[in-house]
Structure 1
Amino acid sequence: MFHFLIPRFIPHTTLQCPYVFSRLFNFRSFSVFSNHPSDNLTLSNLINSCDLSPETSLKLSTRLKLVNPDGPNAVIQLFRSYGFSDSQLSKLVKKRPFLLLSDAENTLLPKLEFLRSIGVSNIDFPKILTGNTSFLVANLEKNLIPRYEIVRSLVRDNKEVVSALKHGSWIFYNHSMVNDSVPNVEVLRKLGVPQRFVSLLVSYFPSVAFNKHSVFVEAVNSVIEMGFNPLKLNFVLALRVIVSMDKENWESKFKIYERWGWSRDICLLAFQKRPQCMLMSEKSINKTMKFLVKDAGLSPEVIAKSPAILSRNLEKVLVPRFAVVKILKSRGLKKRGLTFSSFTLISEEKFLEKYVTPFQKDLPLLLDAYKATKSD
């Protein structure tokens, strides 16, 4: 069946070189050929690039001498046919060297075919499998398929299952986490959380949805106590924040914002409007708040009412757009009462359409000024 993986014209004698292989894989005879000559890859180069320990190298060398010499080549070519580049193959083998000893046709191929059947693409395979090499050693019928069925029951379609794998491939192999996910989602469903928000949590933040049940329930209760509505998107976004942060980190964010004039009540108000503001790093908070308060002249209260501003890129969005609007105001082309959020929270296309293009005749250099202040 694997005639397409190992060209028949390669003799076994050219695939065997035990002596040189035992000397830390400095040999040339193990070759794998793809359809593109530029993609030719030698097994020796692959393993040398993995920086394996001497002990692992010796064990792998010894065991490779005992297997069919076509085996490692079949494994490599199989992964290449599922989208792996040389560097991604190197990363995979470094994490789990003895995959090279696997039966490509009977052990690995069925698992890869199963993942492809649920929608995993060649672009996704390297990300998912290097993120969790345990996929490749777990039993398909006893482990992977049953766990897939559990995850599938939590979301709307296979596309969301694949998204969950891309954002947390380890969930398929962690039996306790898969088991916790069912009662966790049941808690949300009993609260009336819409399925689209449940799916968002599972597919984009699986570390939250699959967390320990007692931790998850405690976080849900905290979010409810803060006044979040289970029917709104911010409920699951706040849940993500609370589950992701320990109490020490949570309190440290309050202290950072307090240094910029926010009271604890203002912090909570901003969190209710934009939960993600509590996930920003201290460096990002300080840089953005410094610009908004000192350069843009906004009060802490104004920022708290539109905390989504904080998540906008400082160099690419806030600074250049502020510069453009400042020019327009100075020329009397825009009202001075213009709110900061009205031009920072819109798309690039809308900003140019509303604040740059209409004024090109009066200010022909406005676009140049905008680009000059915009960092790449």
Structure 2
Amino acid sequence: MYQFFIARFPHYRTLHSNFLCRNAFSLFFDSRSFSVSNTNHHHQPGNFTLSTLVNSCGLSPETALKLSKRLQIKNPNGPNAVVQLLTNHGFSDSQLRSYIKKHPLVLLSDAEKTLLPKIQFLQSIGVSTTDLPKILIGNTSFLSKSLDKHLIPRYEVIRSLVCNDKEVVSALKHGSWNLHCGWAVNDAVLNIEVLRNLGVPQGCISLLVSNFPGIAFTKHSIFVEAVNSVKEIGFDPSKSNFVLALQVFAKMNKDIWESRFKIFNKWGWSRDICLSAFLKHPQYMMISEKKIIKAMNFLVNDVGVSPEEIAKRPGILNRNLEKTFIPRWAVVKILKSRGLIKSDLRISSVISISEKKFLERYVTRFQKDVPVLLDAYNGHMSD
């Protein structure tokens, strides 16, 4: 919990970075400095040159030149300290290059006074060494914003919407956060209040915030419109499908929504059938047109599944054609030809289960009698 962090490091409440309060682009950079990458992760003090910005940091020559002309590093070893800090906290060389490419100004930060407290704060709420680089690369503003004025207050808002810090970390992993946007924070509070007034249980709210934070923090007017659409279709606010449908409506524009009805109509689905399937599995409406056509063609034309059966289990359309449909159908065909499984076994039930269960039920179980099963499965997996 971050309260423990504050109790242990109370002086972080008053930390302010004068560097971050200045206009960084008003400074001038001497191109003498810079050295970033070392595969052994021991970054020795040295000079960061313009070529290092290009070769090691992954910046374009134009960006590197622009940076070298506009910024000035007073402490030549400062960038090395930043690199070493990030490396010590889980950044691989490739992640380091990716982060610096997105946020080169981080090299000018004070590693000990400015960056370390923010990293320690994230660790205090449960961000692991594995997740830290991913979160920071996806949210480059985190280390450039004030811990006291931005990170902690934003954390407190997210924490008020979910059950625990684990869900906060999940939200950070699944979203890109504009910590300076006060409207997003205010709208999130209003959005969740709408759900609570409808009787949406906390578990479902946590599901939305921790897995689809971009929807929870979307503009209030868009959120309310999506909620109204979900209610009109008939979703039960007490069920998780309500928030799953909500994220579909909040993301999908009306033209794409209508185009999905036209696609499925080619296979005989009426609008009512599409909506009935949507009530069962909202995410199927977000599948790309190309993937829908490929999956329906295979299931209907190659396998012989009726469109009506697919409508009853629309979630199977989310599965991968090459990695799931084709290899599993190869196994099922062999088993049916040997009379080892019922001839009327529904392929939809075979596709919907996990890979572990599929292997246990249809491969490992029959492998002594049909040794070619695993080869057939793996062979089609590589197609």
TM-score, normalized by length of structure 1?
0.85
- Following superposition, the deviation at residue 360 of structure 1 comes to 3.4
CA distance in 2, matches of 1:360, 1:37: 46
1:292 aligns with 2:299: yes
Alignment of 1:132-281 (within 5 A): 132-281=139-288
Per-residue CA shift, 1:128-163, capped at 9, x if unaligned? Answer: 222222212212111211111011000111111111
- CA deviations on 1:310-355 (whole Å, 9 max, x unpaired) are 1122122211222222222223322222222222222223223322
From 103, 128, 132, the equivalent of 1:125 is: 132
Structure 1 position 82 matched with structure 2 position 77: no
Distance between the aligned counterparts of 2:316 and 2:67, measured in 1? Answer: 55
Q: Evaluate the alpha carbon distance shift between residue 33 and residue 293 of structure 1 in structure 2; reply closer, same or farther with a 3 A threshold.
A: closer
Q: 8 Å contact 1:128–1:165 — kept in the other structure?
A: yes
8 Å Cα contact 2:162-2:209 kept in structure 1: yes
- Equivalent of 1:98, from 105, 108, 125? 105
Aligned CA distance change for structure 1 residues 75 and 252 (closer, same or farther; 3 Å) = same
1:112 maps to 119
Equivalent in the alignment of 2:59: 51
Deviation of the 1:173 alpha carbon = 3.7
Whether contact under 8 Å (2:141, 2:178) holds in the other structure is: no
Q: Give the secondary-structure state (helix, strand or coil) at the position aligned to 2:305.
A: coil
Instruction: State the Cα deviation string for residues 161-211 of structure 1 (Å, max 9, x = none).
Output: 111111113153432111111111111112221211111110110111111
Q: How far apart are 1:260 and its partner, in Å?
A: 2.6
CA contact (8 A) 1:156 1:199 kept: yes
Aligned equivalent of 1:315: 322
**1:304 equivalenced with 2:311 (yes/no):** yes
C-alpha distance in 2 between matches for 1:209 and 1:80: 33
2:237 and 2:175 mapped to 1: Cα distance? Answer: 24
CA separation in 2, counterparts of 1:33 and 1:270?
52
Contact 2:199 2:238 in 1 (8 A): yes
Amino-acid identity (%): 60
2:80 to 73, 84, 106: 73
Question: Aligned letter for 1:57?
Answer: L
CA deviation vs aligned residue, 1:210-248 (integer Å, no higher than 9, x gap): 111111111111101111111111111100100010101
* Amino acid across the alignment from 1:218: E
Alpha-carbon distance between aligned partners in 2 of 1:243 and 1:89, rounded to the nearest angstrom = 34
SS at match of 2:269: coil
Give the residue type in structure 2 aligned to 1:60. S
Q: How has the CA–CA distance of structure 1 residues 32 and 52 changed in structure 2, closer, same or farther, with 3 Å as cutoff? A: closer
Counterpart pick for 1:64 among 72, 75, 94: 72
Distance 2:373 2:119 in 1: 54
Matched, 1:333 2:328: no
The aligned length equals: 350
Which has the bigger relative contact order, CA under 8 A and spacing at least 6? 2
1:61 to partner: Cα distance = 5.1
- How far is the alpha carbon of 1:31 from its aligned partner? 4.9
Amino acid at match of 2:59: D
TM-score (norm 2): 0.84
For 1:71 and 1:373, the matched residues in 2 are separated by: 53
Provide closer, same or farther for how the CA distance between residues 282 and 32 of structure 1 changes in structure 2, counting only shifts above 3 A: closer
User: Partner residue of 1:349?
Assistant: 356
8 Å CA contact 2:176, 2:214 repeated in 1: no
Q: What's the CA shift for 1:38?
A: 6.1
Aligned residues of 2:34 and 2:52 also touching (Cα < 8 A):
no
- Unpaired runs of 5+ residues, structure 1, are 1-20
Q: CA deviation at 1:39?
A: 5.0
The whole-number CA distance in structure 2 between the counterparts of 1:54 and 1:321 is 50
CA RMSD of aligned residues (A): 2.4
Amino acid at match of 2:352: L
Q: Is the 8 A contact 1:292 1:298 kept in 2?
A: yes
User: What are the Cα deviations for residues 237-296 of structure 1, in whole angstroms up to 9, with x where unaligned?
Assistant: 100100010101111122222223222111111111111111111111111111000011
